[in-house]
Homo-oligomer: A and B are copies of this chain.
Amino acid sequence: MEEKYTQILERIYSEISPLITRGKVADYIPELGKVDPNQFGMSVCTNSGHEYIIGNSQKSFSIQSISKVFTLVLAYSKLDRKLWERVGREPSGTRFDSLVLLENEEGIPRNPFINAGAIVVVDILLDLYEDPINEVLKFVRELSGNEDIFINEKVRDSELECANRNYALTYFMKSFGNIRNDVSTVIEAYTSICSIEMSCVDLARSFRLFSSNGENPWNGKRILTKSQNKRMNAIMMTCGLYNSVGDFAYRVGIPAKSGVGGGIVGVIPNEMSISTWSPCLDKTGNSLAGIKALELFTTYSEQSIY
């Protein structure tokens, strides 16, 4: 068994190599644009406790939108269904930072994985916790077993300098009464959390939560009820890849979340978690080599939820 996954990762790595530098590193955040594009890592954590890695799987990178999963877990585990009064859970069908839907839907973001939705979630965390940035850090450190996870302050500062569109989204939602805290405070917390850096290994370990029915597998602590965990996976499935949700479900077929830093992390419920990283993005803002790697993984391993 162990050999099987080792071989699959090696096969993927060799097939993926020519693709790694295709696509384009996200450069709308200047600091993100400086990353070496020629990198690829992958990590698999099975529920049976095995771990398989390849490439730059231990190199930290900016998790960006993947952080939206962690903030959502923190808010959802506290508020449960009351959360859905302030954010929807339908796929958006548009760009991750569009304001159009927000106008039609009077300030209620379509789902927690578009920027507007994640910003509302951070606004909620600001009311729930004294120091939500630290809370998220503690949470990902606990889930991954890595105390060295940190916020890259250069990235955060670079991102804050080009946060005009997020400011627009947030003020717009505030005009509808769906932001409670000071806009700058919300944006700074949101941006700090996006700037957390983790490796493929860290991410795959963290996502064991979702393959283990909502229990932290490393210490047995229950984070989400079984039902809540199922629902987190459902939301990742239908909203996790912006407007290529359908294409990703079609090609890969697992709940997952991507970030513009080039990371993608997914889960096969009751089986395993899988992460990839490669900085160059396709036109939909997802890691080009990463999506292909996951497609090959579900094909070769015949693991899929369908």
Give the complex CA separation of A244 and B84 in angstroms.
14
- Of A46-54, A59-67, A98-106, A126-134, the segment with at least 4 beta carbons within 8 Å of chain B is A98-106
**Residue-wise interface mask of A (79-105) relative to B, using a CB-CB cutoff of 8 A (1 in contact, 0 not):** 000000000111111100011111100
Q: Contact: A246 with B239, CB < 8 Å?
A: yes
Tell me which residues across on chain B come within 8 A of A101, comparing CB atoms.
93
- The reply to whether B246 and A230 contact each other, CB–CB distance below 8 Å, is no
A195 at the interface (CB under 8 A from B): no
A93 CA / B102 CA spacing, docked (Å): 13
Given A100-B100, A103-B99, A164-B171, is A233 in contact with B306 using a C-beta cutoff of 8 Å?
Answer: yes
Closest Cβ of chain B to A157, distance in Å, is: 18
**CB-based contact A234/B255 at 8 Å:** no
Interface set, chain A 206-253, CB cutoff 8 A to B: 227, 229-231, 233-235, 237-239, 243-247, 249-250, 253
Asked if A234 and B165 sit within 8 Å, CB to CB, the answer is no
Query: How far is B300's CA from A227's CA once the two chains are assembled, in angstroms?
Result: 11
Copies in the complex: 4
**Are the CB atoms of A255 and B306 closer together than 8 Å?**
yes
A91 in contact with B89 (CB, 8 Å):
no
Residue of A167, A171, A253 ringed by the most chain B CB atoms within 10 A: A171
A110 to B, closest residue via Cβ = B93
**A200 at interface (Cβ–Cβ under 8 A)?**
no
A244 touches B90 (CB 8 A): yes
Instruction: Answer whether residue A169 sits at the interface, using C-beta atoms and an 8 A cutoff.
Output: yes
Q: Does A139 contact B (CB under 8 A)?
A: no
**A contact residues, range:** 35 or more
B-contacting residues, A128-185, CB 8 Å: 162, 164-165, 167-172, 174-175, 183
Chain B residue at minimum C-beta to C-beta distance from A95: B103
Known: A171-B165, A175-B164, A249-B237. A227 touches B90 (CB 8 A): no
Interface presence of A21 (CB below 8 A): no
The answer to whether A7 has its CB under 8 Å from any CB of chain B is no
The verdict on A269 contacting chain B, using a C-beta distance below 8 Å, is: yes
CB distance from A167 to the nearest CB of B (A): 4
Q: Supply 18 A–B pairs (Cβ within 8 Å), ascending by A.
A: A88-B246, A90-B91, A90-B93, A90-B245, A91-B93, A91-B246, A99-B103, A164-B174, A165-B175, A168-B171, A168-B172, A168-B175, A229-B306, A230-B304, A231-B253, A235-B246, A237-B249, A305-B305
Sorted nearest first, the 6 A-B pairs with minimum C-beta distance are: A93-B93, A168-B172, A164-B175, A233-B306, A90-B246, A168-B171
Known: A100-B103, A305-B305. 7 other contacts (CB 8 A): A90-B91, A111-B246, A172-B172, A233-B253, A233-B306, A235-B246, A237-B306
